[in-house]
Structure 1
Amino acid sequence: MEILNSLREKTRILHEEIEKDNIAGKIMDHSISLDEYKLLLFQNYVAYKSSESEIARFLPDYSMDKTLRLEKDLKNLGVTDLDLELDFNCDTVAEAIGAAYVVEGSAMGGMLIGKEIRNCDTLKSVGDQYFFSGDRSSMAGWNQFLKYLRSRDFNSEEISAATKKAKQTFLLFKEAFNLELTNC
C-alpha cells in the first residue's frame, strides 16, 4: 500500500528520535516513579486531545477513545487540571489520515508499555489502566485505520499531504513530551 509505505519510510527517523527521548522508556526498564508516570499520561493526554479532535473533524468514524482513556487514568490518579491543548489542525482528509497514522500507530507501543506497567514496583498502586492497559483491544483503532486505507486509492498529492501532516503530528508529540505537570 503506497500511502502506508510513504508514511512509514518518511517518518521513521523522526519517530525513532521522539521515542528514544520519551519517559515511557522508564516503564520498559522499570525505573519510573509515580510522578513521572503521571507526567507521561499528562503529556500523552495533551498530544492526543490536540490531535484526535482534529482527526475526528475529517474522518467521521474516528473515535477519540485514547483521549478519553487518558483522561480517566489521570483523574483516577488525582490529576484534574486538563485544560491544556496544543496548537494543531488538519485542513483536509489527507492531513487527518497522516495525523491518524501517528495516533493509531502508537497503539502498538502503548500495548507493549501496558504489559510492562505490572512489572514496575512504583506503579503497583495505580491499579488497572485504561490507556496503557496492555490489552490487545487497544489495537482495534489501528486495524480499523488500516482497513480504511485499503478501501481507498490515494493520489500523489494526498500521499504527500498525509506524510507532511504525519511529520507534524510527531512534532506535536515531541512538543507535548516537553511539557511539565505542576500539580502532581
Structure 2
Amino acid sequence: MLSEYLKRNTAEYHDAAEKLFNSEKIFNRTFTLEDYKKIIVTNYVMLLNSEDKIFNSLSSTYEGKLQLIERKKLFLIEMDLESLSVKETIPSYDIEFDDENEALGALYVIEGSTLGGHVIAKQLSKTGGFENVTFNFFGCYHENTGSMWKTFKEVLDTNVKEENYNEVLSGAKKLYTFLLNLN
C-alpha cells in the first residue's frame, strides 16, 4: 500500500521536522507563542510556494475523490498569521513538481501535517498563553480530521500503481526537504 510505503520511507524526514519545531515542548507544555509563530511562518512559506503548484498538477480525477477544494489551506494559515500579528516579509522560493505523482507525494506531506496539526491544536489549546489562538490552519478539518486523512490514504492506495510509488515518494521527499531547509 502506498500510504504505508510513504510512511516508512519518509519517517526520518517526519522525525527531523518534529525536532526542528521542538514538538516535544508541545506535550510537556513548555511550547511558547514564539515557537508557535515559527511553525506557522514555516508552514506558510511551504504552502505559499507549493499549494498552487500541487493542485495545478493534479488531474480532475482527484478533484472529487480527494475533495480538493476542502484541502486548500493557504488562506487559513494567512488568517493565523494575521491573528498572530505576524507581518514578516516572506521570501519566495522555487519548488517544482515534475508530475502528478510528485504532487500527490507533496500533498501527502501537507495532509500529514494537518493530521499532526490537529493534535498540536488540541494540546496547545490546553496550554497557558494560547487562549486567544484561533488554530485556523491546524484545526482546519475540525472533527473531520480523521476521516479526511483516511480518505486521502484510501485514494492514494487505490489509485496509484506500484510502479509509480517512487515518483510519489520523490514528491514527498522534495517537499519535506524544502520545509526542513527553510530554517
Q: Same fold (TM over 0.5)?
A: yes
Q: CA deviation at 1:74?
A: 0.7
Structure 1 SS opposite 2:10 = helix
Q: CA deviation at 1:17?
A: 2.2
Counterpart amino acid of residue 129 in structure 1: F
Equivalent-residue separation in structure 1 for 2:99 and 2:26 (angstroms): 36
Match for residue 148 of structure 1? 155
Q: CA deviation at 1:82?
A: 5.5
Q: Deviations over 1:5-43 (max 9, x none)?
A: 321221112221221221443332221222222222111
Equivalent-residue separation in structure 2 for 1:53 and 1:120 (angstroms): 34
Equivalent-residue separation in structure 2 for 1:77 and 1:42 (angstroms): 10
Equivalent-residue separation in structure 2 for 1:67 and 1:23 (angstroms): 23
Equivalent-residue separation in structure 2 for 1:45 and 1:24 (angstroms): 18
1:165 alignment partner, one of 164, 171, 183 = 171
Equivalent-residue separation in structure 2 for 1:84 and 1:142 (angstroms): 30
Residue-pair matches, total: 174
Structure-2 change in CA distance of 1:18 and 1:38 (3 Å): closer
Q: CA deviation at 1:155?
A: 4.0
Match for residue 13 of structure 2? 14
Structure-2 change in CA distance of 1:11 and 1:28 (3 Å): same
2:87 is the alignment partner of 1:80: yes
1:120 alignment partner, one of 124, 127, 134 = 127
Residues 94 and 162, structure 1, Cα contact 8 Å, conserved in 2 = yes
Match for residue 116 of structure 2? 109
Runs of 5+ in structure 1 lacking a partner?
A: 179-184
Match for residue 144 of structure 2? 137
Structure-2 change in CA distance of 1:118 and 1:83 (3 Å): same
Structure-2 change in CA distance of 1:4 and 1:133 (3 Å): closer
2:3 is the alignment partner of 1:4: yes
Structure 2 SS opposite 1:125 = coil
Counterpart amino acid of residue 15 in structure 1: H
Residues 102 and 170, structure 1, Cα contact 8 Å, conserved in 2 = yes
Equivalent-residue separation in structure 2 for 1:168 and 1:18 (angstroms): 13
Q: CA deviation at 1:143?
A: 3.4
Residues 80 and 135, structure 2, Cα contact 8 Å, conserved in 1 = yes
Equivalent-residue separation in structure 2 for 1:116 and 1:138 (angstroms): 15
Match for residue 107 of structure 2? 100
Equivalent-residue separation in structure 1 for 2:143 and 2:89 (angstroms): 27
Counterpart amino acid of residue 31 in structure 2: I
Equivalent-residue separation in structure 1 for 2:41 and 2:6 (angstroms): 26
Q: CA deviation at 1:65?
A: 2.5
Q: Which runs of 4+ in 1 moved over 4 A?
A: none
Q: Share of identical aligned residues, percent?
A: 28
